[in-house]
Structure 1
């Protein structure tokens, strides 16, 4: 089995969704790109590729308002500067072992019933922080988002995250420190050019409350409205995600997950030019 990133043009359904939700018309696209190029031209502190398709990555989540996309780019630059020890020139090879050897992060083979990409983070017993640190997990998630934004369909439809806390114990809780939690939430809420539509927390044991109490103070209202807690009740998850698109691991009709990052990591490796563009964007080097 092999994974590939979908680089083709938008489907007709996605085009209609983009026009309805993102103001995506030929006129708005043209205007947004022109205005964003001008804003970047007049701000030498920022260094972003100005190819039209690359700029659309930032314009789509901002509904083609150039000023909003420009502000997003500045927040991305700020975030990358603040965490440059983790993110400076980050490339997939830097976390290759984490992707291939350890089943901490995964993606479903197919999109869900709304055409969204589905990422799974195994934050319970499948994650051994002594082998893959919380910083490494963050870098892996960051790289995965950089790959996902290359897909036009994902730019429009967005993504869904399933946080699987099955078997969570104190060693994982201890690794999820306030600083780790704050960094992840800051990225999601301020500096991610990807439409995060839903976050589903599943199979969480009672000890999860310790994790939730760390995260809760930092969560803004917008994200709070997209967080759903299901425990072991997969019927609750199915109210948001159709079982026809889910594996048996989550009460779905598809076969149990039998693949890991070792299967889909090559799909990222096939697009290193794009990953390099994402890696170096931010503040201009002095």
Structure 2
């Protein structure tokens, strides 16, 4: 009897694997590695047999929204939002709606995103936002290395920096299963960030950026590690934290000159070579991501046409004031 029981288990597992393959094939979805599929089912409430119907439910809902008629996302994009919201249809709808609403209400970050635009391309080539190629394990989260290097040349407006950051994040949402399913771990080096750069932050901008990450994108933030904090950072960090959820606040770690505690939390070998790791050089990573965004120019230009038309929203239209409680006219920060 045990022999036949084992055969049935293998047969059932084989059928499930075939079913998953057929579902992904039918919906034009990217298949997952076994470990990532298991994580999806265990942590994100994914039921492979329901994927097609869940995507259809979201697409049907989108088609009924008068203010979102320009939105025609791919099945893979909708699956990304479903996974990022643990397959809650209502939370997926809310986050999708907010995502396209911010394209309308925060144009300084979410509009005019041509990677060949000279100003954007300059930021891109500086290698300030660098997702690293290797994860700690097959089903590990994606490390993102951020370096605000303002030692050379004039300061870059925060809006320009964040525009490039969100462009990279959207490519990862679309293409990077580790980023989407396992989460993101961010390492921020502020060694070359002085008082002048810190003073560019305003409460209005901080709130827009935090809301974009937490309310509009299917991002699973695991930890944020801040290295080499400059004088004045605490003022900016407290400003940004004021708009964060408690869960995200608890995942921020700031380190002084001694990085031993950082390396206890994050393996040094996963860092770029310049930081004692073996996860590529900063220049190679910068060239790689410049090529990725430039290669997706047509996609970004097409996405410009997908946004919320607030004049057609069935309920009260959303505005900058209703969402952020600000009109964008906050002064820059004052430092003691």
Q: TM tier, shorter chain? A: 0.7 to 0.9
Cα deviation for residue 260 of structure 1 reads 5.0
Quote the residue 1:3 is aligned against. none
Q: How does 1:160-179 map to 2 (within 5 A)?
A: 160-179=185-204
8 A contact 1:123–1:172 mirrored in 2:
no
1:45 equivalent among 61, 67, 90: 67
Q: Work out the CA distance in 2 between the residues paired with 1:9 and 1:259.
A: 28
Quote the residue 1:81 is aligned against. 104
Quote the residue 1:203 is aligned against. 228
Question: How many residues are treated as equivalent by the alignment?
Answer: 278
Q: Give the secondary structure class of the aligned counterpart of 1:201.
A: strand
Please tell me the root mean square deviation across aligned C-alpha atoms, in Å. Answer: 2.6
Quote the residue 2:165 is aligned against. 141
2:212 equivalent among 187, 209, 213: 187
Tell me, yes or no, if structure 1 residue 107 matches structure 2 residue 107.
no
Q: Work out the CA distance in 2 between the residues paired with 1:127 and 1:187.
A: 29
Quote the residue 2:333 is aligned against. none
Q: How does 1:1-286 map to 2 (within 5 A)?
A: 9-46=31-68, 47-94=70-117, 95-100=120-125, 102-113=126-137, 115-123=140-148, 125-126=150-151, 130-153=154-177, 154-252=179-277, 257-259=282-284, 261-284=286-309
Cα deviation for residue 251 of structure 1 reads 4.8
| Residue segments in structure 2 that go unaligned for 5+ positions in a row | 1-28, 312-336
Q: Give the secondary structure class of the aligned counterpart of 1:200.
A: strand
* Deviations 1:55-111, CA, capped at 9 Å, x for gaps: 1121110112222111101111222221124422523223112212x2432232323
Q: How has the CA–CA distance of structure 1 residues 98 and 13 changed in structure 2, closer, same or farther, with 3 Å as cutoff?
A: same
8 A contact 2:132–2:279 mirrored in 1:
no
* Deviations 1:4-62, CA, capped at 9 Å, x for gaps: xxx96321111111111111221231232121122112212113224322211211101
Query: Which structure ranks higher in relative contact order (CA pairs < 8 Å, sequence separation ≥ 6)?
Result: 1
Q: How has the CA–CA distance of structure 1 residues 254 and 99 changed in structure 2, closer, same or farther, with 3 Å as cutoff?
A: closer
Cα deviation for residue 124 of structure 1 reads 5.4
Q: Give the secondary structure class of the aligned counterpart of 2:224.
A: strand
Which sits farther off after the overlay, 243-252 or 263-272?
A: 243-252
Q: Work out the CA distance in 1 between the residues paired with 2:72 and 2:273.
A: 42
8 A contact 2:44–2:86 mirrored in 1:
yes
Q: Work out the CA distance in 2 between the residues paired with 1:206 and 1:176.
A: 15
Q: How has the CA–CA distance of structure 1 residues 285 and 177 changed in structure 2, closer, same or farther, with 3 Å as cutoff?
A: closer
- The TM-score with structure 1 as length reference comes to 0.85
Q: Work out the CA distance in 1 between the residues paired with 2:130 and 2:136.
A: 15
8 A contact 2:127–2:282 mirrored in 1:
no
8 A contact 2:226–2:254 mirrored in 1:
yes
Q: Give the secondary structure class of the aligned counterpart of 1:150.
A: helix
- The TM-score with structure 2 as length reference comes to 0.74
